[in-house]
Structure 1
Amino acid sequence: MASFIDMSRVPFIPGRLHATNSPYQRYGPKGFMEIKVLGNDSLYVRVDLPGVPDDAIRYRVDAVRQKLVFFSGEETLRDGVKAEDLREYSGSAGLGCDCCEITGVDAKMKDGVLRMIVSRVKVKDHDNKCTRFVPPNAGKSGRYGYQRSSDERYLYDVRSFNIEDILEDHPFVVKGRKDVLARQQRTSDGSFHFSVDMPGVCSDDMFVLPNENQIKFYGENKEVYEHDESCRIFLGAVDKTSCCSSYGIPLLSHDIAWDAEFGVLNIRVSPPPPPRNNNNNNTE
């Protein structure tokens, strides 16, 4: 299946980074969260919660002020992941004004992304269109604090500063890892496990492309939801020095297996079995 991937579609300029929420995102909407006003004055809220099962999200509206939607969820245990590394999410989104109240929420969790349509009604009359949201920095997630061009579509040059200093931690992780790439310790059989977040990408649209030097991974959410501006494309690699059981054993001699679920790609690199001893000891 990998031979059908058209890599020419993947935007990439060496030394450039598309979004600060993921070093592997090459295209599409940025940020762990996005809030925007729809034509009917409802709010569209997108929240990346990779690893949370589709039926395991919880949400509720603040019953007192009717301004916020609280959401939470947890990852499920899987092979190669320690229980203490499982992520728990908790956060809120909604109105930052005094003139509106939430009247309803239509929520859907799919492939590690929570999408909500938040209906609201004005309780105080005014002529201005209300655009005050919570959290107030929702529109800044994924975007640089360093402007390198007057064209907002331009990818920013990261060669002048440390990329680790501008990558964001996930703001809604209250327990577990906050990085988009999880490097796990080797298991007792010498296997190396790592996971990559690709929120919004289903398992059928994630691919692993190993060669003699590295393990490349690719994902694209081909199903673009109604209120998303475009698809999202992810592309990255892990060097062989990080996952080979021995420097003397070629990477492609290892057993490389992967699976994907709830917007997370899981890869396992296992060493080849030891060579058989063909020497026969004959007894007289």
Structure 2
Amino acid sequence: MASFIDMSRVPFIPGRLHATNSPYQRYGPKGFMEIKVLGNDSLYVRVDLPGVPDDAIRYRVDAVRQKLVFFSGEETLRDGVKAEDVREYSGSAGLGCDCCEITGVDAKMKDGVLRMIVSRVKVKDHHNKCTHFVPPNAGKSGRYGYQRSSDERYLYDVRSFNIEDILEDHPFVVKGRKDVLARQRRTSDGSFHFSVDMPGVCSDDMFVLPNENQIKFYGENKEVYEHDESCRIFLGAVDKTSCCSSYGIPLLSHDIAWDAEFGVLNIRVSPPPPPRNNNNNNTQ
């Protein structure tokens, strides 16, 4: 069954970056973490942990003060990824007041996103308004409309980014790579590997669209969680000069394969096999 991608829903703002947590995010809630107070006074916490399996997340409530929820997880090692690049995450979120305590956590990990409902109860100062807590290392990815230049190519081409000036490292990575750009690596057989973080997007909603000049990729989390602001849309491309094994071989002559798991899209571009020698010396 053919899939339909409604590209009219993807905003295009020339010279601007939608979110500093990802160069490929074009729409939706920004940031590696989101915390908001719900109507029943509990907290909703959304944390991006791309690459972490759904059953590999760990969390616990601070047993002493009952103010913080600590979470951690490790992504799986995939083909084409160096062992030293495998990420381990660790962080916390919780209460910034002295009048409440955490009474329970309902956590769910899916497609590289941890979502928690943190219940709390007032234990003192019932007339004072309490607050939620955003860790100081949560990043600045709530910035809107970063202005870089009039060159629109940077919205697609990872090579045109100045990482230090524009993009943020993931604040909860304690081991492995911290940047969220597509990782590019060429193996000994000439294959080109790269991966793209699309937290919250399931594998069925990630698409790879190669043409003569680029390998484009698209992802959208169509199943929006009830407390999320909206869906998130990711869009980008890698130029043929980056992934072709030789400038003389067309991009579409390569074997382009991809898979997706736990909010990470993995693409492998393999060179075509060498031409066969068709010279037949038949003797009469």
Q: Deviations over 1:190-230 (max 9, x none)?
A: 10000000000000000001111111100000000010010
Q: 1:252 to 1:157 in 2, by over 3 A?
A: closer
The offset of 1:63, in angstroms, is: 0.4
Q: Deviations over 1:36-69 (max 9, x none)?
A: 0000000000000000000000000000110111
- 8 Å CA contact 1:203–1:261 kept in 2: the answer is yes
Q: 1:268 to 1:83 in 2, by over 3 A?
A: same
Distance in structure 1 (CA, Å) of the matches to 2:50 and 2:115? 13
Equivalent positions of 1:1-284 (< 5 A) are 4-136=4-136, 138=138, 140-143=140-143, 164-282=164-282
In the alignment, structure 1 segments of 5+ residues that lack a partner are none
Moved more, 2-11 or 154-163: 154-163
The offset of 1:155, in angstroms, is: 13
- 8 Å CA contact 2:15–2:151 kept in 1: the answer is no
Q: 1:3 to 1:204 in 2, by over 3 A?
A: closer
- Count of residue correspondences: 284
Distance in structure 2 (CA, Å) of the matches to 1:278 and 1:132? 72
Q: Deviations over 1:100-145 (max 9, x none)?
A: 1110000000000000000011111243331241415659433259
Q: 1:142 to 1:21 in 2, by over 3 A?
A: farther
Distance in structure 2 (CA, Å) of the matches to 1:155 and 1:278? 45
- 8 Å CA contact 2:17–2:147 kept in 1: the answer is no
- 8 Å CA contact 2:93–2:133 kept in 1: the answer is yes
Q: 1:145 to 1:201 in 2, by over 3 A?
A: closer
Distance in structure 2 (CA, Å) of the matches to 1:211 and 1:160? 20
- 8 Å CA contact 1:144–1:166 kept in 2: the answer is no
Q: 1:139 to 1:273 in 2, by over 3 A?
A: closer
Distance in structure 1 (CA, Å) of the matches to 2:153 and 2:120? 32
Distance in structure 1 (CA, Å) of the matches to 2:39 and 2:137? 22
- Aligned CA RMSD, in angstroms, stands at 4.1
Q: 1:179 to 1:163 in 2, by over 3 A?
A: closer
- 8 Å CA contact 1:45–1:115 kept in 2: the answer is yes
Q: Secondary structure at the match of 2:127?
A: coil
The alignment's TM-score, normalised by the length of structure 2, stands at 0.91
Distance in structure 2 (CA, Å) of the matches to 1:153 and 1:252? 22
- 8 Å CA contact 1:201–1:263 kept in 2: the answer is yes
- 8 Å CA contact 1:18–1:155 kept in 2: the answer is no
The alignment's TM-score, normalised by the length of structure 1, stands at 0.91
Q: 1:156 to 1:222 in 2, by over 3 A?
A: closer
Q: 1:208 to 1:275 in 2, by over 3 A?
A: same
Q: Secondary structure at the match of 2:139?
A: helix
Moved more, 131-140 or 17-26: 131-140
Q: 1:262 to 1:25 in 2, by over 3 A?
A: same
Q: 1:70 to 1:22 in 2, by over 3 A?
A: same
Moved more, 175-184 or 95-104: 175-184
The offset of 1:173, in angstroms, is: 0.4
Q: Secondary structure at the match of 1:138?
A: coil
- 8 Å CA contact 2:18–2:145 kept in 1: the answer is no
Distance in structure 1 (CA, Å) of the matches to 2:157 and 2:268? 33
Q: 1:176 to 1:151 in 2, by over 3 A?
A: closer
Distance in structure 2 (CA, Å) of the matches to 1:28 and 1:153? 21
Q: 1:117 to 1:149 in 2, by over 3 A?
A: farther
Moved more, 119-128 or 188-197: 119-128
Distance in structure 1 (CA, Å) of the matches to 2:139 and 2:59? 21
- 8 Å CA contact 2:72–2:91 kept in 1: the answer is yes
Q: 1:210 to 1:152 in 2, by over 3 A?
A: closer
Distance in structure 2 (CA, Å) of the matches to 1:186 and 1:199? 25
Distance in structure 2 (CA, Å) of the matches to 1:221 and 1:111? 9
Q: Secondary structure at the match of 1:140?
A: coil
Q: 1:253 to 1:116 in 2, by over 3 A?
A: same
- 8 Å CA contact 2:206–2:265 kept in 1: the answer is yes
